[in-house]
Chain A
Amino acid sequence: MLDNLKEFASEFFVTGDPLILGAQVSIALTMIAIVIVLTYFKKWRWLWTEWLTTVDHKKIGIMYIIASLLMLFRGGVDALLMRTQLAMPELNFLEAEHYNQIFTTHGVIMILFMAMPLMFGLFNIIVPLQIGARDVAYPFLNSMSFWLFFWGAMLFNMSFVIGGSPDAGWLAYPPLSELSHSPGVGQNFYIWGIQISGIGSLATGINFIVTILKMRAPGMRLMKMPMFSWSVLSSCISIIFAFPILTVTLFLLFLDRFLGAHFFTLDGGGNPMMYINLIWMWGHPEVYIVVLPAFGIFSEVVAAFSRKKLFGYASMVFAMIAISVAAFFTWAHHFFTMGSGANVNAFFAVTTMIIAIPTGVKVFNWLFTMFRGKIQFTTPMMWAIAFIPCFVVGGMTGVLLSVAPADFQFHNSYFLIAHFHQVLIGGVVFGYFAGLYYWWPKMFGFKLNEHLGKWAFWFWNIGFYVCFMPQYLLGLMGMTRRINVYDFDMGWQPLNVVSTIGAFLMGIAFLFQVWQIAHSIKFHKKDTTGDSWGVGRTLEWSIPSPAPVYNFATIPVADERDWWWEEKERREQGIQPKAIPLEPIHMPKNSAIPFIKSLCWFTAGFGFVFNWLWIAIPGLIGVAICMLVRSFQYDTDYYIQVDEIKRTEAALRGAN
């Protein structure tokens, strides 16, 4: 009996690696610590009613951001481990198997569990405030999306300590990801973790499209809408068409693994290349999904801190929508070397080059916005300015990669690694940081310490170039991606050392940010104006920070592009806004169902990972019960009465 148990445990838990043992111990300790703290301060009820069951878009946004920063930490540690292994030739720090797992989890976590949720966090907090809405269109679904993402991410991350991590690359190409080559449970964690969170992403896409189309303040025509909201709309358009492709592709892979189907197997008429073709139909739009909102953020930040209207509003809108549609016509540039023939390659090379044009338009728009502006070098603005050269270089190396014949040389080399990190870090991460710093006071009512922020900024930027510029050269010298050892005589060592140093500089930068947040929480100055930077142009800056539950006591008629800016000028000239009478506000009630139902999905996913139907089936039944219960709930909303609004507003506004 005891022996059986021991044997089971030794297979169930990942054992034998000191790094992982350390992680297991620290995870266990952290969990115990959290439980103790919550119990000691009697915070369980608070956690449940204020956070876990909330449907308030602002709180959901904050939870997204916290989760994504934790994931940034995990993905970053993965990156540093890999860079450490690569610093010297023939190092034995990570074995091949372990290295494979780490680049796989790093890639998946950074894109799906760091970039996406950070993006959704900003969507959630800002979009309703920016368009004058009191919540998103479907608050319950919104909470569902968050918890599906959360439990999906937890399932994926669990593989690290239980059962073993996936190791077939971040896109899990078959045949490597098929049962024949990856018989373990790691690949199942991959499928279920991504599937569960993927449903959440799709729902978020729908939610924000409806919110933006249906819930704008009176007078706000689409062409008067702030640019960030436009970028969200374009990103969500891509989401609702791209994510179903991912779901179906992974589902087919699941059928192969679980029921012995032959969609992508080597035998039985399957074709692994079909998977590669399908997954990139999601994969390419995905990169635009994450970068478009960053473009939106830059547009807001650049205009605000240049104290000027955004240059070329209409062309910007056009460029974003064009990108979100054109993104669906370039996918084959990810596998020029697969041998689809010259015509296919030529076609996709040209579409790829064409999509660079609207991106170029935007860069000029930002430059012209800054031109002759009164620029203030605050941290959000610095991130925006640093983004431009970084993204331009990254974009140009992308155009180099799109030259199909040349790609036979670059493909799967460190040249590619350098290229996509340059656009992902220089575009996406810098963009979200700009947004995070810019809107932080809107979320929490105080600014982050600028001094520490500048340290973090410089470490990130210098670290970035030191890390990734040498990789372009390494790629040209023939170093391929996904290798964990190389020989002395390749001559790659000097550049690899430099690159690793750069990676650690970025690690230090992250520590500065943690310090910055901790410091600012302790020593901040409370913002009483609501327009913390003093340069706000759009609706979100017209209400107190943090915004009350209902966001807007009365919804303004926002019929100008930079409504709040114009309104401030009017008020300066002594024109007071027309008072709109208060009315009771209709709000959604909290619900525990999203949390519970996602937990049931997690349970079902866990069961499927280990092929334990006795866990999977109860999990699915739980999901069904949650749906049923929700269908019969009618009491899902309430009204906030006028005197309560008056009291809240007086407390928030009276403070200044």
Chain B
Amino acid sequence: MANHDTGAHKSHGGSFKSYLIGFLLSIVLTIIPLVVVLNDMMSRNATLIVILAMAVLQFLVQLFFFMHIRDEEKPRYNLMTLILAVVILLTIVAGSIWIMTYNMTAG
């Protein structure tokens, strides 16, 4: 708190336009899986893939349009944290799939 005046307050370079685009993109990316699921448009596996793909895109939209991951100055702590987060995330998903494959009771 006390040290804040030493330059922590820089504006985070988002323009109105980029926020608007981000907002619209994130809405569209939310609606697509909803429509697919509610209308039973695809097979089970295809639906899963669509949901996952939209989730990943959504994640990227949030990062670039709202969290300004590109604009960070050095040292890039946010980027480092993000990479670690992705590693852990992949571990969670892949590890769970691996561990649970032998454990699928009634499928």
**CA–CA, A138 to B4, complex, Å?**
10
Q: Are A139 and B96 in contact (CB under 8 A)?
A: no
Q: Are A344 and B99 in contact (CB under 8 A)?
A: yes
Q: Are B1 and A135 in contact (CB under 8 A)?
A: yes
Asked whether any CB of chain B lies closer than 8 Å to the CB of A33, the reply is no
**CA–CA, A586 to B4, complex, Å?**
9
Q: Are B3 and A134 in contact (CB under 8 A)?
A: yes
Q: Are B99 and A340 in contact (CB under 8 A)?
A: yes
Q: Which of B2, B4, B101 contacts A550 (CB 8 A)?
A: B2
Given contacts A344-B98, A637-B1, contact A273 B77 (CB under 8 A): no
**CA–CA, A340 to B99, complex, Å?**
6
**CA–CA, A587 to B2, complex, Å?**
6
Q: Are B3 and A277 in contact (CB under 8 A)?
A: no
Spot the interface stretch: A324-332, A391-399, A463-471, A594-602.
A324-332
Instruction: Report chain A residues within 8 Å CB of B98.
Output: 340, 344
Instruction: Report chain B residues within 8 Å CB of A274.
Output: 96, 100
Q: Are B84 and A133 in contact (CB under 8 A)?
A: no
Residue of B nearest to A347 (CB): B98
Q: Mark B55-99, 1 if CB is under 8 A from A, else 0.
A: 000000000000000000000010001001100100110011011
**CA–CA, A341 to B101, complex, Å?**
9
**CA–CA, A241 to B90, complex, Å?**
12
Given contacts A241-B88, A277-B96, A344-B102, contact A213 B77 (CB under 8 A): yes
Residue of B nearest to A266 (CB): B105
**CA–CA, A586 to B91, complex, Å?**
43
Interface size class, chain A: 35 or more
Q: Are A273 and B2 in contact (CB under 8 A)?
A: no
Q: Are A271 and B103 in contact (CB under 8 A)?
A: yes
**CA–CA, A56 to B77, complex, Å?**
27
| Closest-CB distance, A197 to chain B (whole angstroms) | 22
| Closest-CB distance, A582 to chain B (whole angstroms) | 14
Given contacts A274-B96, A278-B96, A338-B103, contact A214 B88 (CB under 8 A): no
A-B pair count, CB < 8 Å, reads 66
Q: Tell which of B92, B99, B102, B106 has the most Cβ of chain A within 10 Å.
A: B99
**CA–CA, A637 to B3, complex, Å?**
12
Q: Which of B84, B85, B91, B102 contacts A329 (CB 8 A)?
A: B91
Asked whether any CB of chain A lies closer than 8 Å to the CB of B8, the reply is yes
Q: Which of A133, A245, A332 contacts B2 (CB 8 A)?
A: A133
Interface size class, chain B: 20 to 34
**CA–CA, A66 to B75, complex, Å?**
38
- List A residues 235-282 near B (Cβ within 8 Å): 237, 240-241, 245, 269, 271, 273-274, 277-278, 281
Q: Mark B1-25, 1 if CB is under 8 A from A, else 0.
A: 1111100100000000000000000
**CA–CA, A332 to B102, complex, Å?**
13
Instruction: Report chain B residues within 8 Å CB of A637.
Output: 1
Asked whether any CB of chain B lies closer than 8 Å to the CB of A588, the reply is yes
Q: Are A134 and B103 in contact (CB under 8 A)?
A: no
Residue of B nearest to A215 (CB): B3
| Closest-CB distance, A371 to chain B (whole angstroms) | 36
Asked whether any CB of chain B lies closer than 8 Å to the CB of A585, the reply is yes
Instruction: Report chain B residues within 8 Å CB of A328.
Output: 88, 91
**CA–CA, A622 to B16, complex, Å?**
32
Residue of B nearest to A640 (CB): B2
Q: Are A241 and B99 in contact (CB under 8 A)?
A: no
Q: Are B99 and A139 in contact (CB under 8 A)?
A: no
**CA–CA, A215 to B5, complex, Å?**
11
Q: Tell which of B3, B91, B105 has the most Cβ of chain A within 10 Å.
A: B3
Given contacts A325-B84, A328-B88, A328-B91, contact A587 B99 (CB under 8 A): no
Q: Are A214 and B99 in contact (CB under 8 A)?
A: no
**CA–CA, A517 to B88, complex, Å?**
43
| Closest-CB distance, A487 to chain B (whole angstroms) | 34
Q: Are A137 and B99 in contact (CB under 8 A)?
A: no
- List A residues 206-245 near B (Cβ within 8 Å): 213-215, 237, 240-241, 245
Which A residues are closer than 8 A to B by beta carbons?
133-139, 213-215, 237, 240-241, 245, 269, 271, 273-274, 277-278, 281, 325, 328-329, 331-332, 338-341, 344, 550, 585-588, 637
Q: A277-B100, A341-B102, A586-B2 are in contact. List 10 more A-B contacts (CB 8 A).
A: A133-B3, A269-B106, A271-B100, A274-B100, A278-B96, A281-B92, A339-B103, A340-B100, A340-B103, A586-B5
Q: Pick 19 A–B contacts, CB within 8 A, sort by A.
A: A133-B2, A134-B1, A134-B3, A135-B2, A137-B1, A138-B1, A139-B1, A213-B77, A215-B3, A240-B81, A269-B106, A271-B104, A278-B96, A328-B88, A328-B91, A329-B91, A340-B100, A340-B102, A586-B5
> Which 3 A-B residue pairs are closest in the complex by CB-CB distance?
A134-B2, A341-B102, A588-B1
